[in-house]
Amino acid sequence: MSTDKTDILISFIIPAYNAARFLKFTLESVTSQTYENIEIILIDDGPTDNTHEIASNFAIKDDRIRILKQENKGVAVARNRGIECSTGSFIALLDADDIWHPKAVEKMLHCFTISSSNVAVVYAWSLDIDADNILTGGIHLSRSTGYVYPLLICHNFIGNASSTMIRADHLKSVNGYRTEFNIGCEDLDLYLRLAEKFHYDFVPEFLVAYRKFPGSMSSNSAVLNQSHTQVIDKLKAEHPSIKPALLRLSKINFYAYLSHSTVSDKSRHSTFYWIRQALKTDIFISILRLDLIYVIFLRLWFIAIGDKRRDSLNRKGKSILNGLESGTYTSSFRPPPPIYLIVKLKSFLGSVMLRILKRLA
């Protein structure tokens, strides 16, 4: 591919249902991209709040924004409609409450230009934020490249649907999203079907802020588990030769993810529930996940300090929007210094795991 990128159109697909609370932040992050040759397709998925009004106000000011209206049909149907109407060479699938770093498009597109045409997906690292745009300490990162299908079966190392840019031709060749899954893991199913045929690459920087807060879909652990089970069951039915150990590892890793994501919840049973599910699936592999022991101690600590003190600690975090006006926006997309040790450890373990799984697959 030519390194002259200015003529390459990037399509943003943003499904929006009752997204009024956060849509402003999302659209500002997209319209402020340093790479300007973009189209923004916002699917108005039958909201009951003033999502349409907010989107329309942005569209008046920026003619790169198109709004498609439909009755509420869910995120997968909305994304598919956006994909069908897109004209860009690459597609970014962004949730209506997440935030992109101003140079995210520029950096991910550059990764594509120096990669082979067989690379379908470029992903970036992401940071979790809460409803007040405060960093929570959660991170999603990997250094996995090339044929990542075995690893992706075991672990969704990308972490969310907002952290990728996808080659449009390859995305359309797998027919986009399948709509039969419960909301939550339809992106994992798409990533798996792409990984089966194509390669992945990544930008080793935190370029995406992924929103998680009580009441959001990403916080509903029971629904997420149902959706993940549907994806694994579909995978097993379509590929009966997949080793059962890989599927068990997939469930254990997902239970571990749910235990981490619920560790600060005010419900005092969810974390331990998901750890028990992991142990029931395979006690030996679960014990090898030392992070589950850490989660147990962290959960007990949260219980000990109480809800009020926990909420006070959470409010002391750093906003992802700090420095936006002063020109130091880049620094706000960095995790706290203690997290960097975890970053290096996760990167190393992920690379080792991919090598092992490629031999086993």
Confidence label for 2 from pLDDT (cuts 50, 70 and 90) = very low
Nearest to 153, CA basis, from 227, 274, 244, 287: 244
- Cα-atom radius of gyration of the chain, to the nearest Å? 20
Weakest-pLDDT range from 80-89, 120-129, 220-229, 315-324: 315-324
Question: For 98-217, where are the alpha helices, taking DSSP H only?
Answer: 104-113, 149-154, 168-173, 186-197
Last residue of a domain, one of 63, 97, 131: 97
CB 150 within 8 A of CB 51: no
Is the predicted pLDDT of residue 249 greater than 50, yes or no? yes
What is the number of residues in the chain? 361
Mean pLDDT of 183-211: 94
Weakest-pLDDT range from 39-48, 79-88, 216-225: 216-225
CB 126 within 8 A of CB 205: no
Tokens 């749910």 sit on residue:
258
CB 221 within 8 A of CB 270: yes
Is the predicted pLDDT of residue 49 greater than 90, yes or no? yes
Between 216 and 84, the higher pLDDT residue: 84
Structural domain includes residue 348: no
In this prediction, residue 259 carries a pLDDT of 85
- Percent of the chain beyond pLDDT 90? 55
Last residue of a domain, one of 51, 80, 97: 97
Q: Give the β-pairing of 99-100 and 135-140.
A: unpaired
CA 198 to CA 29: how far, in whole Å?
29
Structural domain includes residue 15: yes
Domain that holds residue 310: 219-323
Please report, as a single letter, which amino acid is at residue 174.
Answer: V
Is the predicted pLDDT of residue 330 greater than 60, yes or no? no
Structural domain includes residue 57: yes
Structural domain includes residue 118: no
Backbone angles phi, psi at 268, to 5 degrees: -95, 10
- Token reading at 124: 């970036």
Name residue 134's beta-bridge partners. Answer: 319
Is the predicted pLDDT of residue 338 greater than 90, yes or no? no
Structural domain includes residue 134: no
Please report, as a single letter, which amino acid is at residue 197.
Answer: K
Structural domain includes residue 277: yes
Between 360 and 273, the higher pLDDT residue: 273
Average pLDDT across the chain, whole number? 85
Structural domain includes residue 287: yes
Q: For the chain, how many structural domains are there in total? A: 2
Those residues whose C-beta lies under 8 Å from the C-beta of residue 136, and which sit 6 or more positions away, are 128, 129, 130, 212, 314, 317
pLDDT single digits (tens) 208-219: 999 987 666 656
Q: What is the CATH number of the domain that holds 75?
A: 3.90.550.10
In this prediction, residue 221 carries a pLDDT of 85
Structural domain includes residue 167: no
CA 254 to CA 259: how far, in whole Å?
9
Between 249 and 309, the higher pLDDT residue: 249
Mean pLDDT of 4-32: 92
Chain centroid, CA 140 distance in Å:
8
- Token reading at 283: 């006690």
- Percent of the chain beyond pLDDT 70? 79
In this prediction, residue 193 carries a pLDDT of 97
- Token reading at 100: 């992109």
Torsion of CA 306, 127, 157, 107, to 10 degrees: 180
Confidence label for 361 from pLDDT (cuts 50, 70 and 90) = low
Tokens 């940071």 sit on residue:
127
Those residues whose C-beta lies under 8 Å from the C-beta of residue 279, and which sit 6 or more positions away, are 286, 287
Is the predicted pLDDT of residue 326 greater than 50, yes or no? no
Task: Give the CA distances from residue 232 to residues 75, 223, 342, in Å, rounded to whole numbers and listed in that order.
Answer: 20, 14, 28
Cα dihedral 194, 196, 201, 204 sign: positive
Assessment of whether the complete model's pTM goes beyond 0.75: yes
CA 238 to CA 245: how far, in whole Å?
17
Weakest-pLDDT range from 161-170, 193-202, 318-327: 318-327
In this prediction, residue 212 carries a pLDDT of 86
In this prediction, residue 347 carries a pLDDT of 59
Mean pLDDT of 3-29: 90
Cα dihedral 29, 161, 280, 347 sign: negative
